[in-house]
Amino acid sequence: MRTIQFREAVCEAMSEEMRRDESIYLMGEEVAEYNGAYKASKGMLDEFGAKRVVDTPISELGFAGIGVGSAMLDNRPIIEFMTFNFSLVGIDQIINNAAKMRQMSGGQINIPIVFRGPTASAGQLAATHSQAFESWFANCPGLKVVVPSNPYDAKGLLKTAIRDDDPVIFMESEQMYGDKGEVPEEEYTIPLGKADIKREGDDVTIVSFGKIIKEAYAAAEELEKEGISCEIIDLRTVRPMDHEAIFTSVKKTNRLVVLEEAWPFGNIATEITYQVQENIFDYLDAPIVKINTADTPAPYSPALLKEWLPNANDVVKAVKKVLYKDN
């Protein structure tokens, strides 16, 4: 199997789907002439032309609305935000139109649209460019929310998202576009709402998603040296959420740590914690621990940013806490 970058996996997914279906087009800032702000649409303008790979002004509300309107007329747009921080300018179109049109039309109008781009922090980008909005979008009925952590998952999930007849929020990371991974050359898709066990273990379940899951992998390697076996679940899709995958693992390990790069109040980890205690409380041998960022806007200072973000050491401490080995 060949090895490609995350950005190449995204580009392949979009290009393959656009070859398959002429109703699909890509629109966003710098997606065409510049080959994408992160080179995730490299070569697509040359192949598909300016009518299907469309550069826009800095006007998220405008091009999000164009996307929703065109989806109502049987197109299947892919709308790229340079970062989901900028999606806030166009969030009215996402929440009040894309997510609600099927219900408000009595099922007559689907909105087959993908909003994609990077989420969360990406180094010293300061408070307004370092936010994770997965839980905001996942809170809204009518939206599906996907957050892949590697090139293989990104390609398979994006192809499925593009084929979906409902709006999908597809969240990437500036810090993952250069990540490399094995991706098949043959056709494949990955269903939405299906988590993946990235590492099997017996002592504790760690649930995570997106780029922050790398900290769980690093922690698991360290804990293995101490004889502690961690099972790591990558949600991949946060809505719909694969509750059964989580429940099955926790029934085996009896302990749960949730790692998420997001503010601690009312996030995806909070929902996971509720679902586990509501459905399989009797299987828990320790309180659930969730690990998030600090409850402040992201700092610009590199020293403060390091403290603000969750890291592998935080995961090690959390695992030892649920195992009552933190003394």
How would residue 126 be classed by pLDDT, with cut points 50, 70 and 90? very high
Give the mean pLDDT of 268-283: 98
- Which residue, 227, 230, 222, 220, is CA-closest to 250? 230
> How remote is the C-alpha of 284 from its chain's centroid?
27
Which residue has tokens 């969360």? 120
Model pTM? 0.97
Which residue has tokens 């894309």? 98
Using CA atoms, how far apart are residues 76 and 105, in angstroms rounded to an integer? 18
What's the pLDDT score for residue 326? 81
What's the pLDDT score for residue 121? 96
Q: What are the start-end ranges of the H helices in the chain?
A: 6-20, 44-48, 60-72, 91-92, 101-104, 134-138, 151-163, 213-224, 243-253, 268-280, 302-308, 312-322
Q: Please name every residue paired with 289 in a beta bridge, in sequence order, or none if there are none.
A: 257
Give 85-97 pLDDT, tens digit per residue. 999 999 999 999 9
Residue 153's alpha-carbon distances to 127, 168, 246, in angstroms, are: 29, 15, 18
- Which residue, 272, 194, 291, 189, is CA-closest to 237? 194
Token pair listed for 84: 């989901």
- Which residues are known catalytic residues? 60, 129
How would residue 316 be classed by pLDDT, with cut points 50, 70 and 90? very high
Give 230-274 pLDDT, tens digit per residue. 999 999 999 999 999 999 999 999 999 999 999 999 999 999 999
Residue 327 has pLDDT above 90, yes or no: no
Give 26-70 pLDDT, tens digit per residue. 999 999 999 999 999 999 999 999 999 999 999 999 999 999 999
What's the pLDDT score for residue 80? 98
Give the mean pLDDT of 278-283: 98
Residue 1 has pLDDT above 90, yes or no: no
Give 146-197 pLDDT, tens digit per residue. 999 999 999 999 999 999 999 999 999 999 999 999 999 999 999 999 999 9
What is the length of the chain? 327
Using CA atoms, how far apart are residues 212 and 261, in angstroms rounded to an integer? 6
> How remote is the C-alpha of 213 from its chain's centroid?
11
